[in-house]
Amino acid sequence: MYDQSSFANPTPLAHADTSRDVLSRGDGDRFNSCQVIYSQFGLAIHQNDHQARRRFVEWAQNEIAVVPYFHKRILFSDEAHFWLNCYVNKQNCRIWSEANPQVYVETPLHPEKLTVCCALWAGGIIGPYFFKNDEGHNVTVNGDRYRAMITNFLIPELNNHDVQELWFQQDGATCHTARATIDLLKDTFGDRLISRFGPVNWPPRSCDLTPLDYFLWGYVKSLVYADKPQTLEHLEDNILRVIADIRPQMLEKVIENWTSRLDYIQASRGSRMPEIILKM
């Protein structure tokens, strides 16, 4: 079991959705010699990604310079799969290593899983929301289901919070960026939308800047399988319990860590770390 205080301050640019950071704080001297190994199938690192990330960092730091608590007004969102047999989704697995680690992941033939959505900000966690159809069966997310989640769950939940000028962030998944989805989010948040095709562009392949990726999913998955749940109902109960038990102080540290990650990207402006792609 992880110590909550240490887990809330992971190493900048750490991986997402795995149970621990590969680099410790004492590995800073090694960092520049490391190659970043992406284990997402078919992931391509584009040259423009660096520029997009830096533009976003400059925008965010300028906003923080004007409003020092700006980062505490961003509602970060994401989905994750929770597999009943503890299988870890390789899509969200990032590994830092000096060489190709030759990682192999076994894929279950008929996996049982929950698809879960959460939104995290300095004020707490909204969710989890479990994607299910009208019959109550667990399903994966698509555009229609994502918009239904926003309309029937997210917006009513926001009405229960005393939130002013809240920003909403999402990654570039297709269900997030369909025209109908962007229009729906603009109706709710106006120009305070951070997304591909949104008023503020979210840089692609930036899981290191999403608190759900660099903290929440890995932390929750490190705990929900402790008693080896045998049913999806048991797994769902564990997810609800673990997320409900996360302390506000922990979330504050997670959000403060986000600004440190901005600083790290800005400080490494002149460096180009080599990337290699690990297709699995």
Rounded to whole angstroms, how far apart are CA atoms 123 and 76? 11
pLDDT at 236: 97
Residue-level pLDDT at 207: 87
Q: Do residues 12 and 94 touch, judged by C-beta distance below 8 A?
A: no
Q: SS3 of 25, please? A: helix
Residue-level pLDDT at 50: 85
Please, how many CA atoms are within 13 Å of residue 190, restricted to the half-sphere of its CB? 4
Distances (CA, A) of 61 to 6, 64, 165, 198, 239: 25, 5, 17, 19, 34
How many CB atoms within 10 Å of residue 123?
17
State the Cα–Cα distance between residues 140 and 32, nearest whole angstrom. 38
- For 226, the token pair is 């402790």
Q: What is the pLDDT along the chain (280 residues), one digit of tens a residue?
A: 444 444 454 443 333 333 333 333 333 333 333 333 333 333 455 777 888 999 999 999 999 999 999 999 999 999 999 998 765 554 455 555 566 766 665 555 556 999 999 999 998 999 999 999 999 999 999 999 999 999 999 999 998 776 668 999 999 999 999 999 999 999 999 999 999 999 999 999 898 899 999 999 999 999 999 999 999 999 999 999 999 999 999 999 999 999 999 998 888 763 443 343 333 2
What is the CA 60 to chain-centroid distance, rounded?
Answer: 17
The pTM of the whole model exceeds 0.85: no
Residue 232, number of CB atoms within 10 A of its CB: 17
The residue among 132, 174, 137 whose CA lies nearest residue 153 is: 132
The residues, ordered by sequence, that sit 6+ positions from 160 with a Cβ below 8 Å of its Cβ are none
Q: Angle 143-136-75 (CA atoms, 0-180°, nearest 5)?
A: 45
User: Of 48, 168, 63, which is closest to residue 117 (Cα–Cα)?
Assistant: 168
3-state secondary structure of 191: coil
Contacts of 122 (CB under 8 A, 6+ apart): 71, 72, 73, 251, 252, 255
Q: What is the pLDDT of residue 11?
A: 40
d(C-alpha 194, C-alpha 30), whole Å:
33
Do residues 57 and 262 lie in contact, with contact meaning Cβ atoms separated by under 8 Å?
yes
Closest CA to 76 of 154, 143, 168, 1: 168
**Given the structure tokens 């660099």, which residue do they identify?**
214
